Amino acid sequence: MIQAAVLPVLALMQSSAQEPAPAPVVWQGFDYSYIEASYVLADVDGLGEDVDGFAVGASLDVAQSVFGYIGLQATSADTGGGDVDLDVLELGLGMHAPLGDRLDLVASAAGLLADAEALGLSDDETGYRLRGGARYHLTPRLELGGGFGVVDLEDPETVFDAALLVGLTGPLHLRAGLERGEDVTAFTLGLRLYPGF
């Protein structure tokens, strides 16, 4: 009786031991070649009205650990006395350095060209953005990023940003972002596509 009960248990243990171990997670690193488009909703201190619009951008690996990027953000607000429009073009270069398979440190510098229109008047400003941050893989399809920097169009201000990317299907990702400056808090929601070149 005891032998009859023990043999099936031993056979089960042996078959379990022979089962292959789960395949380890393969981390693919970070891709710096992509295109993206987002809806932008911003709160500007002292304006009294929400500002919204869109942003488009692209990034490209141009050399080992070096990438270039370009972005355009167009926003507007109805203040009651007329629309206030602000377009900002950004062109820059960045560098990234891996700290393991799941973490990259990133630093970038960009030139800014802003065009503001209100009440039929237009004003152009040039400036720059300096940023340091990191990208971290929570899972192979879930990424968290963030950083600190300085943006100077009229006066320099410190800016904090954070973003969450969720893989949807293949190279397509959902991106949600937050950027907080001294006078502006902006939320973005959009899509990022990694073409794979």
CATH number at residue 44: 2.40.160.20
Stated pTM of the model: 0.81
Q: Is residue 179 part of a domain?
A: yes
Q: Determine the residue type at 104.
A: D
When pLDDT is averaged across residues 96-103 and rounded to a whole number, the result is 92
Model confidence over 14-35: pLDDT tens digits? 544 455 555 455 556 799 999 9
Q: Is residue 127 part of a domain?
A: yes
Per-residue pLDDT band at 159 (split at 50, 70, 90) = very high
Q: Is residue 132 part of a domain?
A: yes
Q: Is residue 175 part of a domain?
A: yes
Q: Is residue 100 part of a domain?
A: yes
The pair of three-digit structure tokens given for residue 75, joined into one six-digit string = 């926003």
- Give, in degrees to the nearest 5, the angle at Cα 84 between 83 and 85: 110
When pLDDT is averaged across residues 137-141 and rounded to a whole number, the result is 92
How many domains does the structure of the chain reveal? 1
Q: Is residue 164 part of a domain?
A: yes
- Asked whether the CA dihedral 158, 152, 86, 188 is positive or negative, the reply is negative
